[in-house]
Amino acid sequence: MVEALLIDDSPVARRVIRHHLEQIGCRITGEAENAALGLKLFRELRPQLVTLDLIMPAVDGVDAAQAFRSMRRESPRTQIIVVSAVPFEKTRRSMVDEGALAYIVKPFTRFSFDQARVRLQRAFPELARR
């Protein structure tokens, strides 16, 4: 079972992401509404997968980009899916180049999770193919 941590300031977005990840066999072990709490839970829970919203207010001086880089440095094998309202290719490419598994743009469509699902199933062969 792939354990996942969701970090997003939108409860609605977390619910949608939870639904998609649970559909393929992930278990959500934690949720955070800001990057500072997300980083704290990441260090406690050591999930195999993190979804991280890029656009959230900084809390305690920690923004999403800093949290992303800290997670990559502390646990290079953890897969991170970036979720963002920023639709720019340059931003997507930059995050993927820095090690993001996938980049999902909000608002979600019925196809938003297709590429991420394929990449997750490649990274975690135990996940269901649906």
Spell out a b/e string for 104-125, using b for 16 or more CB atoms within 10 Å of the CB, else e. bbbeeeeebbeebbeebbeebe
Rg over alpha carbons for the chain, rounded to the nearest Å, is 13
Reading the block at residue 46, the tokens are: 């050591």
CATH number of 2-123: 3.40.50.2300
Q: Is the pLDDT of residue 82 over 70?
A: yes
Q: Is the pLDDT of residue 75 over 90?
A: yes
Reading the block at residue 41, the tokens are: 């839970």
What pLDDT was estimated at residue 130?
54
**Mean pLDDT over residues 17-25, rounded?**
96
The pTM (predicted TM-score) of the whole model is 0.94
**Mean pLDDT over residues 93-102, rounded?**
95
User: Per residue in 36-74, pLDDT tens?
Assistant: 999 999 999 999 999 999 999 888 888 999 999 999 999
Give the span between the Cα atoms of 104 and 79, in whole angstroms: 14
Contact 106, 9 (CB under 8 A): no
DSSP bridge pairs for 26:
2
Q: Tell me the pLDDT band of 12, cut-offs 50, 70 and 90.
A: very high
Enumerate the domain spans of the chain. Answer: 2-123
Give the span between the Cα atoms of 32 and 53, in whole angstroms: 10
